Amino acid sequence: MNNNGVSESVELELAVEMANVLSEPDSTHVSGVDVLATGAHKYRGAVVEDLQLPPAFALPHSETIARAIELAYDRDFSHIPILSRERKPLGYLDVTALKAKWEAGQADPNDNVLKYMMKFKRGPSQTYTLITPDTPLNELEDFLKNNLFALASQFEVTDYDRKFVLAVATQGDLDTFISRRGV
């Protein structure tokens, strides 16, 4: 017994327990990965599905630019995916750039969207990042560091079989998610 009336064996057990607690890895490292460096701490395990994105809005390749601009402003979209007849993503329309061309008289309202579309690169050497509803948000954030938005095989959020586009995700969607969570 020590001066406080605690047996030496209890004191030793407490010391061992305290040593175990102090030697446990801190919460910023999981399996040797620095969680703070990866950005995963911001999202707390959330995935793309947790963003609650609205259904994807895309235009057929046969649409006119007048209609495209009207629809984009109705929905407050700056980029719109363009789909083939088979609903395959062909590219996207940069609405801001298109509107500037229209206002400068460099685009006719009856022109086809294909004329102003930014085409997705396709080919055997082109690699694509698959973004699905189960993609962790820290992976989406990494992807968006080098891309304007996440769209099918290349950028879109697709269904599990990659047959159609479910949604379009942007950095703004991630920022909104973080602000809603109060992180």
Q: Write down how long the chain is.
A: 183
Is 16 a member of any domain? no
Is 83 a member of any domain? yes
Is 23 a member of any domain? no
Is 171 a member of any domain? yes
Tokens 């088979």 belong to residue: 86
In this model, does residue 181 exceed pLDDT 90? no
Q: Domain residues for 168?
A: 40-181
Per-residue pLDDT, averaged over 151-159, amounts to: 45
Tokens 């061309």 belong to residue: 101
Is 11 a member of any domain? no
pTM for this prediction: 0.64
Residues 49-87 as b/e (b if ≥16 CB within 10 A, e otherwise) read eebebeebebbebebebeebbeebeeeebbbbbbbeeee
Is 24 a member of any domain? no
Is 14 a member of any domain? no
Q: How many domains would you assign to the chain?
A: 1
CATH code (residue 162): 3.10.580.10
Instruction: Answer with the residue of higher pLDDT: 136 or 134.
Output: 136
Is 140 a member of any domain? yes
Residue pLDDT, tens place only, 40-57: 578 888 998 899 888 778
Share of the chain above pLDDT 70, in %: 70
